[in-house]
Amino acid sequence: MAYRPDPPLIVQSDRSLLLEMGGPHADACRDALAPFCELLKSPEHVHTYRITPLSVWNAASAGLAADEMIATLERFSRFDLPKNVVRDVRDLHARFGRLRLTRADDGPGLVLTADDPLLLEEVASNPLGRGLLVRRGDGRLGVEEAHRGEVKQALVKMGWPVEDAAGYVEGAPLEVKVRTSLPDARPFGLRDYQLDAVAAFWRDGSPLGGNGVVVLPCGAGKTVVGIGAMARVGRRTLVLTTNQTAVTQWRRELLQKTELTEDQVGEYTGATKDVRPVTVATYQILTHRRSKTDGFTHLELFRKGDWGLVIYDEVHTLPAPVFRVTAGIQSTRRLGLTATLLREDGREEDVFSLIGPKRFDLPWKLLERRGFIAQALCTEVRVPLPRALRARYAAADRRDRFRLASENPLKLAVLEETVARHKGEPILVIGQYLDQLHAASRRLRAPLVEGSTPADARRTLYDDFRAGRLPVLVVSKVGNFAVDLPEASVLVQLSGTFGSRQEEAQRLGRILRPKEDGRTARFYTLVSHETSEETFAQHRQLFLTEQGYAYEITVASPPAADALEGASEVA
C-alpha cells in the first residue's frame, strides 16, 4: 500500500476517517470533508468522521458528484483508498434520484417512477410503503397528495431517497423588495454567500428547488437569507420560529430590511392572532392543545393561509407535531434555517425528507476569516466540587449526579471572578437551572431573563443591554435562540442540557456577531471537575471543535474553591 507522509487523513475500510490535526493541510481537509462526511468525535489531535448514506445523499442533492468526493479523499489520504470505500461512495451516490416523484399526467395525485421496474417492485413490496404506494398497472406507483411527505420518509428509511419533482402550489402573490439602505441610512444588501444560499435553495425555480436547509452560524445572517428567499419566491410566507423574542426579532428585521409595511407583517402567538401576507408564528402556539387527548388547535394555520413559502427558523428544533403536519404540506415551498443540523434524537432523516436536503453550508472558521463573524476563544473552566457535596454525589443516580455537578455552588465564585476580569465588556451569563441563575443574578446584581419574564420586560432589558446601559445580563435557556444582542462579547455558561451539541453551538452563536471595535469574543463554560459533567461537556463540544474551535482547559484555583467550601448549596 502506498504511503505519503504529508497528507493528514486516514480512510479506513469501515468508512470511518481519521483526520490528524495540527498539520499544514488539516484545516483544508476538514473543510473539504464537511459537505459529505459526518463528524463522530473531535478531541485535540485526531478527529473521527464517517461516510454515511445520509451524508452522501445530502451532498448529492446539493450537486456534489461522487467523483468530487472521491477526489477529496484521494487528495488528503495518507494511504491508498480502500476499494470498498470508493465503491460505497459511488453506490450510495447513485441511489439518490433513481426514484422520482412527479405529478400524474392523467389525473390528480402523484406518481413514483424509477429507472428500473424491479426497483419499483422492491419499494412497493416493502412494508414501510404499505398504504402509501398504490400499483397503477402502467409501471408506475400512485401516491396521494396528502401522503407525499410520508412516502419520502418511508423511502429514505428503505435506503432509496426520492427526487421530488412534483412541484408546488403557487400560493398568493406577494412582492417583497429588499431595501438598499436601512432606516439609519447605512447601505444594505445581501452578502455574496447569502446570495449563494438563496440561489442554492431556489435552483432557478425548477421543481427540484424551493425546498431544503441552509446551515450558517449565528451572526452570519440566516434571517437575511430568509428575506432573500421571500423576495425570490414572491409569495405569501409563513415564518415559524422558537419563541416570542424570535417573533419580535423577525418582524423587526422584515420591516427594517424590506419594503413590507406594518399591515403586511403579522404575529401569531399566544398573545396575538394576526394573520397577514407575512405571518410570524411560534412552534409552541402551533403545537398547543388543551389536553393530551385534544387536537392541535392552531395547526390549521398551515392550511388556511394560501402560503407559497414556509420558513422554519432553527429547523433542528422542530417538535414532532410540526414534523407530522409538515409531512402533509409538501406542496408548499419550504426553507429550513439553522446553525447546525444536529438533533440529539437522531431525526436528521426527517429534516432531510420533509423540509429538504442541506442546500448550503459554510464552515464557521471561513466566515470568521472573512470577518463576517467574530473571532472566538473557548475556555472550559473545571471547578472543584465541595467536599460537602461529594458524598451526596457518590450516592446519587445518574440524573441527580449531573444536576448536583451542574449546580456546584463554587461556580458562582468563578463566575464572579470571570465577570470582574472582563469588566467593561458586555457579558451574558446563561444556564439551565433557575435556582442557580437566581443565585447568580443576586451575586452579580444583574437582572435575569427567564421563561416567565413578560415580553415587554424582556424587550426593555435587551434594549438596555444593546445600548450599554446594562453591562451584565443573566438568561435562562430562553437565551439559546434568537437573542439579538450584537455587542455581547463574553458569555459564561454555568450549566447546560446534558451533552447537547446543538445547545453548545447556539450559545457560542450568541456572541459571534462582529464587534465594531474588532474585539475577540470569549466563551467560558464552567464544569465541575472529576464529575459526569466533564463527560457531557466533552460531547457538547464536538460540533464546535469540528468547526475548528479549540477549548483551552483550566482548573479553578484552590483559593477560590476554599473560600466557598462551606457555602450553602443551590437547591
Specify the pLDDT at position 566.
43
Distance, CA of 431 to CA of 411 (rounded, Å): 12
Tell me the average pLDDT across 346-369. Answer: 81
Of 73-77, 234-238, 477-481, the poorest mean pLDDT is in 477-481
Of 194-203, 352-361, 367-376, the poorest mean pLDDT is in 352-361
The third-level CATH classification (topology) of the domain covering 99-164 is Translation Initiation Factor Eif1 (3.30.780)
Tell me the average pLDDT across 520-525. Answer: 94
User: No. of H helices and E strands in the chain?
Assistant: 23, 23
Q: Where are the domains of the chain?
A: 9-95, 99-164, 192-362, 369-563
Q: Please tell me if the domain spanning 99-164 has the same topology as the one spanning 369-563.
A: no
Distances in Å between the Cα of 266 and the Cα atoms of 236, 242, 547 are 12, 16, 37
Specify the pLDDT at position 561.
46
Cell of 468: 450599554
The dotted CATH code for 369-563 is 3.40.50.300
Angle at 63 between CA 57 and CA 68, to 5 degrees: 85
Residue 212 confidence (pLDDT) above 50: yes
Residue 520 confidence (pLDDT) above 70: yes
Of 170-179, 229-238, 327-336, the poorest mean pLDDT is in 327-336
Distances in Å between the Cα of 83 and the Cα atoms of 17, 65, 78, 80, 89 are 14, 18, 15, 9, 10
Residue 559 confidence (pLDDT) above 60: no
Which residues contact residue 346 at a Cβ distance below 8 angstroms, ignoring those fewer than 6 apart?
none
Contact between 360 and 201 under an 8 Å Cβ cutoff? The reply is yes
Cell of 349: 432523516
Specify the pLDDT at position 357.
84
Residue 522 confidence (pLDDT) above 60: yes
Angle subtended by helix axes 320-327 and 148-158, to nearest 10:
110
Domain 192-362 is found in CATH 3.30.565.10: no
User: Torsions phi, psi of 425, nearest 5?
Assistant: -100, 150
pTM for this entry: 0.83
Q: Residues 92-104: pLDDT tens digits?
A: 999 998 999 999 9
Q: Residues 441-485: pLDDT tens digits?
A: 999 999 999 888 888 888 899 889 888 899 999 999 887 765 666
Contact between 418 and 522 under an 8 Å Cβ cutoff? The reply is no
User: Torsions phi, psi of 160, nearest 5?
Assistant: -130, 80
